[in-house]
Structure 1
Amino acid sequence: MTEPTDVDRFRRLVDHLAPGAALVRSRRLTGGVSATVTALELARGDAGPTTLVVRQHGDLDRRQNPNVARDEFAVLRIAHARGIPVPEPLLLDETGTLSPHPFLVQGYVDGAPDMALGGGAGRVNQAAAQLAAIHAIPGGPELAFLPRFASDAGERPAVLDDALGEGQIRDALDAARSPSVANPPALLHGDYWPGNLLWRNGRLAAVIDWEDARVGDPLADVGNARLEFLFAFGTDAMEALTARYRSLTALDWSGLAYWDLRAALRPCGNLSGWGLDAETERRWRDLHAGFVARALGALPDR
C-alpha cells in the first residue's frame, strides 16, 4: 500500500476543516527554523479564496517538549483572546490520522519580517509595546501548562565556547545566582526577535513562532530581545527598544544584567551553525563581546 503524500494529507485536512473547498496549491513558507510551515491556498466558491497555515514541529522541539503542539495552540488561543496580534488558532490535531505527529492549523497573516528596520524608531516602539502587552498576561493558573523559564543557567558544558567568553559568563552567573528580586511571572514569548515579527503597511501584523513560550520573569524575554535587536539593528535600536518597553511597564530592573548574561549564553557553542556569512558573524561576535562587558559591569555587588 502506498504511503499518503503531503498533498494527500493536506487534501484530507481541507475536507475536514472546510468541506466543499478545494486545495488549489500548497507552498512551504520560508523562515521556519524549528518547524515546517506550509500555506494551503483554498478555493471556496462564492466565499472566495482562503489561506490556512499548517505548522508541524520538528524532532528537536518534540524531544524537548512532547506537548509542544498542544502548548503552542493553547498559548495562541490565550494571546489571541487578549488581543495580541497572533495567527488565529484554528485546529490542533493529535489523532495521528492526518499526520504521524501532532500539528496545528492557524490563519494566514499577510506580512513579512523587516530585517532592515524600515520605519526606524516607529517600528522599534511598536515591537517594544507588543512585548509589554505580552508580558501583561500574568503567569497564573491559565498558563499552568507551560514550562517555567529556568532560573539558573543550567549545566555547565564539558567544552566551553571560549571565543564568546562562555566561561566568564557562566562564572559570573554562578556567583550572582538568580536575581534576589524577581518580577511577578508572566507569559514569555521565548524567542522575541525581528524574524518572528511580521509587518504589513508599517504596522506590526503578527508575532509568530510561540513554541518556546514559557512562564517567568519578563526580564528574561527582555534580555533576549535586547541581544537580538542589537545583532539585527545595532546599539541604538536595542537601547530604544529597552527605553520604550521600560516606559510602558512597572518592573524591578535590578536583575537586567543577570538576564542579559543569560541571553548571552544562547549563541555560545551555536553561533557558527547559524548560517551567517563571515562578515556578519565577525560583527555579531564583536557586538556580543560588548553586550557581555556591559552586563558584567552592571552586575550588582554581592
Structure 2
Amino acid sequence: MKSVLSDQVLDWVRKSVGSTTEIRSIKRLYGGTSSIVHHLSFTTGDVVLRQFDNEEWLKEEPDLARHEAESLRKAMKTSIPTPEIIAFDETGDECGGMPAVLMTKLEGTVQLKPQQMERWLAEMAESLVQIHSVQADDFPWTYFTYKDLAKLEIPDWSSYPELWGAVFDFVRVPRPQVRPCFIHRDYHPTNILWEDDKVSGVVDWVNACSGPAGIDIGHCRLNLAMLYGVSTADAFLSAYEKLAGYSFSYHPYWDLLSLIDILFGPPEVFPGWIAFGMTSLTDQMMVERLDQYMKSVLNRI
C-alpha cells in the first residue's frame, strides 16, 4: 500500500501503538483547516493522527501537541466520550518535522442536518454542561482572546457599522466575574460526533483551557447562527440554561467577545460545513446572519 505518510511517521505510529500488525488503510480526514488529520486502521483497531503544519500557529503556540495531549487527559474526566491520547511528538523530531498527536478514534459522524433540531440542540447542550462540570483550576492553559481589544476595526462589510462600535465599547469594559471551568474553546457542530441521534463523542481538544463557560456557549451560538440563523442560536442557549440550572448565569459579554474573535475579514462559509454537506450556504448569507446575530446579542444588554 502506497502511503501519503512517510516511513518515519508510520514507524512512530507503529511504535506508539505497540502493534506489529499491518496497517489496513490510511484515510485523510477533511473538515478542519489548521492541521493535517489522518485515520489509520490497524487490524487491532483504529487511531487518528493529527500533524500540525500551520507555521504561524506553531510560532504563537509551540506547545500545541503537548497542549492537546494534556487536554485529552483532562477531558477524560468528563462523562462524554473523548479520544484517548496514545502519544505525542511536541517538537516534530520523531515525525518528520511536524509536531503530532496520536489518539484513539471515536465512533460516529458529524451531523449538520438533524431531523429533530430541538433534540439535537439539547444533546449538544447536555454534552457542554458535562464539559463545564470539570474543575480546571490546576490546568496550565488559560483562556485568552484572539484579538487585541485595543486595535479593533469596524468591519467594512457590515450594514451596521455604528452597532459594531457599540460592540467594541462593550467588550472593552471590565469582564464579568465568573468562576473558570474546563472549556473546549472550539465547541461547535463539526467537532461533535453522533450515533443513533445521540452524541457519541467530542473531538478537537487542542484549544481546551481553563476559562469562562460563556465563551464555549458564545462560540457555539455564533456557529449555529451562521449555519441556521439567530433563532437556532437562541434555542441552544435556552437548552443550555435549562440543563445547567443554577450553575450558569448568562451574560451577553461572552457572546460579543466570541463574536469579535472571528473578525479577521469578510465572513465566509467555513470549508468544514461544505465538507459535511451544507452546500447551500453562501458568503452573503454569512454576512447577513452575522449582522443579525450581532444585533440580537446587543438587544440582550
Bin the TM-score by the shorter chain: 0.7 to 0.9
Q: 5+ unaligned residues in a row in structure 1: which ranges?
A: 44-48
Contact 2:24 2:41 in 1 (8 A): yes
CA positional deviation for 1:111: 1.6
1:74-113 superposed matches below 5 A: 74-94=70-90, 96-113=93-110
Q: Secondary structure, in 3 states, of the residue corresponding to 1:162?
A: coil
Contact 1:182 1:252 in 2 (8 A): no
1:137-152 superposed matches below 5 A: 137-141=134-138, 143=139, 145-150=140-145
Q: 5+ unaligned residues in a row in structure 2: which ranges?
A: none
CA distance in 1, matches of 2:61, 2:101: 15
- Work out which of the residue numbers 202, 217, 235 in structure 1 matches 2:230: 235
2:285 corresponds in structure 1 to 283
1:12 corresponds in structure 2 to 11
More displaced stretch, 268-277 vs 207-216: 268-277
* Per-residue CA distance 1:121-142 (angstroms, 9 max, x = gap): 212111001111111112301x
CA distance in 2, matches of 1:265, 1:240: 21
2:191 corresponds in structure 1 to 196
CA positional deviation for 1:248: 2.2
CA positional deviation for 1:262: 1.7
Q: Which amino acid aligns with 1:68?
A: L
Q: Which amino acid aligns with 1:87?
A: P
Q: Secondary structure, in 3 states, of the residue corresponding to 1:81?
A: coil
1:163-202 superposed matches below 5 A: 163-164=157-158, 165=160, 168-175=163-170, 177-178=172-173, 181-202=176-197
Q: Secondary structure, in 3 states, of the residue corresponding to 1:40?
A: strand
CA distance in 2, matches of 1:121, 1:254: 20
* Per-residue CA distance 1:26-85 (angstroms, 9 max, x = gap): 110111221110111112xxxxx4111101123233122111110111011111233332
- Work out which of the residue numbers 67, 71, 84 in structure 2 matches 1:71: 67
* Per-residue CA distance 1:227-257 (angstroms, 9 max, x = gap): 11122233333222111211122256352x2
1:46 corresponds in structure 2 to none
- Work out which of the residue numbers 292, 295, 299 in structure 1 matches 2:294: 292
Structure 1 ranges of 4+ moved more than 6 A: none
CA distance in 1, matches of 2:281, 2:126: 32
Shift of the 170–205 alpha-carbon distance from structure 1 to 2, 3 Å rule, reads farther
Shift of the 254–202 alpha-carbon distance from structure 1 to 2, 3 Å rule, reads closer
Contact 1:181 1:254 in 2 (8 A): no
2:209 corresponds in structure 1 to 214
1:23 corresponds in structure 2 to 23
Contact 1:111 1:199 in 2 (8 A): yes
1:37 aligns with 2:37: yes
CA distance in 2, matches of 1:214, 1:21: 36
More displaced stretch, 104-113 vs 174-183: 174-183
Contact 2:13 2:102 in 1 (8 A): no
TM-score, normalization: structure 1?
Answer: 0.84
* Per-residue CA distance 1:275-294 (angstroms, 9 max, x = gap): 57795222222221121112
Shift of the 5–199 alpha-carbon distance from structure 1 to 2, 3 Å rule, reads closer
CA positional deviation for 1:107: 0.7
Question: How many equivalent pairs are there?
Answer: 287
1:115 aligns with 2:112: yes
CA distance in 1, matches of 2:137, 2:33: 30
RMSD value over aligned CA atoms?
2.7
* Per-residue CA distance 1:97-135 (angstroms, 9 max, x = gap): 233132111111122111112332212111001111111
Q: Specify which structure has the bigger relative contact order, considering alpha-carbon pairs within 8 angstroms and separated by 6 or more residues.
A: 2
Q: Which amino acid aligns with 1:292?
A: M
